[in-house]
Amino acid sequence: MDADQIEQLIAASDLPSLLAALAHATGDPGLVPGGLWLDPDLALQPEGGWDQEQLGRARELAVSGLQKLTAPESGEDAPDDALVPELIDWLTGADLDDGYRRMLAEELAVTGDMRIPEPITAGDWPAANTRDHAVAVIGAGMSGILAAHRLEQAGIDCVVLDKNGDVGGTWLENTYPGCRVDVFNHVYSYSGEQRPDWPEYHSSQPVLLDYFRDCARRWGIRDRIRFDVQVDSLAWDDATCRWVIRLETSSGPEDITAGAVVSAVGQLNRPLMPDIEGVDSFVGEQFHSSAWRHDIDWQDLRVAVIGTGASALQFIPHLAEAAAHVTVFQRTPPWLIPRPVYHEPLAAGLLRLFELVPGYAHWFRLRLFWCTHEGTVGALRRDPAWDGPLDQAVSRRNEETRKLLTMYLEHQFGDRPDLLAKVVPDYPVGAKRVVLDNGIWARTLKRPNVELVSGGIERVEPDGVRGADGRLHPADLVVYGTGFRASEFLMPMRVTGRDGDDLHETWNGDARAYNGVCVPGFPNLFCLYGPNTNIVVNGSIIYFAECAAHYVVECMRLLAERGATAMDCRPDAYERYAALMDEHNSQMAWGISPVNSWYKSPSGGVAQNWPLPLVDYWRQTRRPDPADFELIEPAGRA
Ligand SMILES: Cc1cc2nc3c(=O)[nH]c(=O)nc-3n(C[C@H](O)[C@H](O)[C@H](O)COP(=O)(O)OP(=O)(O)OC[C@H]3O[C@@H](n4cnc5c(N)ncnc54)[C@H](O)[C@@H]3O)c2cc1C
């Protein structure tokens, strides 16, 4: 490769992660010298805040690393795995402890999947020896297929049950135009199943669906999945210490039993239809974004869209391109985060480097993980010293972010003061879900066939939607971008535990789970993407599913080690954990601001979000603490 070609490739690279990858691949720590230490406070900036001189030095090092790697005699070089911890320290620029470094090494997975569980001697867990299943996993979305994979790796038999006809959950059901992942795709993927060649930085729904299908196939778990069966109820049987699972199948109801249940039913799987008067009176077609009607051609139709959340901002631009008119009803505007590469294909040079430099895609993922995860969430945490109005910002950093994002909106809508007045949020950044933008929202709202209505809705009428100002907006089609019933965990299943207790009555509208996984009185019921495991700006839900799936396997290991049948979380551990979540969520923008958002339960509490550093969830899900559980046996076998 000549010097020009190398220069071009380097121009397309993320330099810090390229240097780390080159140092690893060539075994040369000189490629990441101390003089190029990355400043963690500047982690979000390109090249970590290096000045021109440092940048020049970094490019020279990258050239020499690439020359070394591509030289004819380089076949002798093998990656030096012993360098990995040092390179992680260098790439993060942070003073990491061993646990943190280990978590990042697992995310990096440059030496292979580091989260494969040690096999459990299943015979030691009594529940594994009976007829039917050791474990039933409900849901074959991202979380469910991962749980089945980890259980299978640990040697535990399981069946996966899904109401749908295929895997993918969110990415199977949400087929609306424009649907794409808003976490960088290199991060939104399993650590042990990384894919370097994502077509886009934020790939679209069909690509995501293919990825999850592919994982299920490669993991060999498709034949463990029973598709098109809905779980209606779960009932714990004290006598046998098993769950009795009532299924709704095409041939009628069926009961199966399992020693444990993993609920992987998602937080965003049940659409929320708004409680607006007159919805049923509308004479045209109407549907929710998660059940997109591809048989309806909206060309030349007058469309009313209710909602301006993350999904709506993805599909409205597509509607606007062909519809005669689009009226957008906005309750609260979202904060927009500029992301110029939001719809962009991965740079060709970057893809070429992923091929050329072994492990580069992994180091690239790690850098994105670090920069976009812990790097941003600090701006959403309350600073007790902050004396500004809390309804606008919760800290100086939050206020600075607010100013920056306001400037972005002013830049985007400066020529349309009428729109600008409607699109600048009046709540702190992070109190609601932020939405990525590459300028498409302003372009869409400025179209002559689009109107943004922000004053509220009075009712839906046969011919359209009447705004709170009394004006009727005629419509042939209404699309609801109104989100999901996020606070109604595990609904609409009826779940009865020990002593016949009903899970939803126990929760009373404020779902909680110890470690996001266990609820007292419901032995051997483990939740993935459970209460307080959603994240707002810092990361992907896959990280949480990986931690929780590991925890579930470790719970089963504990049972096997103790020769116990079931484990029930102790109420004091549950309460302590819920108090911890409340304490920290009350210090986050989403916990402080009264603005409406799906991050809150009807009680006003935050049962959805994780408020602490990501690594804390990893730490607390390493091993179950036996002191926090009661080990139980079938009645009469105590
Ligand atoms: C439009 C959209 C965009 C998103 N973008 C992102 C993003 O960019 N980054 C991110 O981290 N997260 C994103 N999310 C969150 C997303 O839900 C998670 O990332 C992830 O897909 C959740 O996977 P899951 O398996 O836990 O749940 P789901 O994907 O919701 O899967 C749940 C599965 O359980 C099944 N199920 C539910 N109830 C039953 C029952 N009673 N019986 C049988 N089967 C049942 C469902 O059919 C489904 O297959 C997005 C969500 C949506 C809706």
CA of 529 to the centre of ligand 1 (A): 9
Task: Please say whether the dihedral angle defined by the alpha carbons of residues 224, 226, 227 and 231, taken in this order, is positive or negative.
Answer: negative
**438: pLDDT strictly greater than 90:** yes
pLDDT (0 to 100) of residue 636: 56
CA of 319 to the centre of ligand 1 (A): 24
Nearest-5° angle of CA 407, CA 411, CA 412? Answer: 120
Q: Structure tokens of 624?
A: 């179950």
Confidence band, pLDDT 50/70/90 cuts, at residue 50: confident
CA of 170 to the centre of ligand 1 (A): 4
Nearest CA to ligand 1 atom 5: 181
Least reliable range by pLDDT among 173-187, 418-432, 535-549: 535-549
CA of 475 to the centre of ligand 1 (A): 31
Name, in order, each residue with C-beta under 8 angstroms of 435's C-beta and a sequence gap of 6 or more.
182, 309, 310, 313, 334, 335, 336, 337, 441
Given ligand 1 and candidates 268, 377, 435, which is best to mutate, with the most ligand atoms within 8 Å of its CB? 268
State how far the alpha carbon of 409 is from the alpha carbons of 48, 337, 403, 499, 553, in Å.
26, 10, 10, 55, 46
Of 463, 394, 448, 378, the closest CA to residue 416 belongs to 448
* Atom number of ligand 1 nearest to Cα 172: 49
Q: Structure tokens of 351?
A: 């893809």
Q: Crossing angle for the helix pair 142-154 and 205-218, nearest 10 degrees?
A: 20
Q: Evaluate: CB of 188 within 6 angstroms of ligand 1.
A: yes
Q: Structure tokens of 423?
A: 């699109």
Of 237, 234, 232, 126, the closest CA to residue 498 belongs to 237
* Atom number of ligand 1 nearest to Cα 289: 1
Name, in order, each residue with C-beta under 8 angstroms of 396's C-beta and a sequence gap of 6 or more.
383, 386, 388
Q: Evaluate: CB of 314 within 6 angstroms of ligand 1.
A: no
Of 65, 601, 591, the closest CA to residue 363 belongs to 65
CA of 12 to the centre of ligand 1 (A): 34
Of 521, 615, 515, the closest CA to residue 555 belongs to 515
Q: Evaluate: CB of 174 within 6 angstroms of ligand 1.
A: yes
CA of 57 to the centre of ligand 1 (A): 45
Of 259, 261, 262, 263, the closest CA to residue 633 belongs to 259
- 153-157, 326-330, 346-350, 632-636: which is most confident: 326-330
CA of 488 to the centre of ligand 1 (A): 14
pLDDT tens by residue, 118-146: 999 756 677 776 668 899 999 999 999 99
**441: pLDDT strictly greater than 60:** yes
**638: pLDDT strictly greater than 50:** no
* DSSP letters for 224-253: GEETT-EEEEEEEETTTTEEEEEEEETTEE
Q: Evaluate: CB of 230 within 6 angstroms of ligand 1.
A: yes
Q: Evaluate: CB of 170 within 6 angstroms of ligand 1.
A: yes
pLDDT tens by residue, 185-228: 999 999 999 999 999 999 999 999 999 999 999 999 999 999 99
Q: Distance between CA 489 and CA 512 in Å, rounded? A: 9
**593: pLDDT strictly greater than 90:** no
CA of 506 to the centre of ligand 1 (A): 24
Query: What mean pLDDT, rounded, does the chain reach?
Result: 93
Given ligand 1 and candidates 172, 213, 269, 337, which is best to mutate, with the most ligand atoms within 8 Å of its CB? 269
Of 452, 450, 476, the closest CA to residue 463 belongs to 476
**635: pLDDT strictly greater than 80:** no
pLDDT tens by residue, 331-386: 999 999 999 999 999 999 999 999 999 999 999 999 999 887 776 788 899 999 99
Higher pLDDT among residues 308 and 607, named by residue: 308
Q: Evaluate: CB of 263 within 6 angstroms of ligand 1.
A: no
pLDDT tens by residue, 67-112: 988 887 766 667 889 999 999 999 988 889 999 999 999 999 999 9
When pLDDT is averaged across residues 392-398 and rounded to a whole number, the result is 95
pLDDT (0 to 100) of residue 43: 56
Contact present, 597 and 487 (Cβ < 8 Å): no
pLDDT (0 to 100) of residue 375: 66
Nearest CA to ligand 1 atom 16: 170
Q: Evaluate: CB of 527 within 6 angstroms of ligand 1.
A: no
pLDDT (0 to 100) of residue 114: 96
**44: pLDDT strictly greater than 70:** no
CA of 144 to the centre of ligand 1 (A): 10
Element spanning 584, H or E: helix 571-585
Phi, psi of 474 (to 5 degrees): -60, 140
pLDDT (0 to 100) of residue 601: 83
Least reliable range by pLDDT among 104-118, 161-175, 256-270, 601-615: 601-615
Q: Evaluate: CB of 225 within 6 angstroms of ligand 1.
A: no
Confidence band, pLDDT 50/70/90 cuts, at residue 6: confident
Confidence band, pLDDT 50/70/90 cuts, at residue 602: confident
Nearest CA to ligand 1 atom 11: 540
* Atom number of ligand 1 nearest to Cα 545: 26
pLDDT tens by residue, 215-261: 999 999 999 999 999 999 999 999 999 999 999 999 999 999 999 99
Which regions of 391-480 does DSSP assign to beta strands (E)?
435-437, 450-453, 457-461, 464-467, 472-474, 477-480
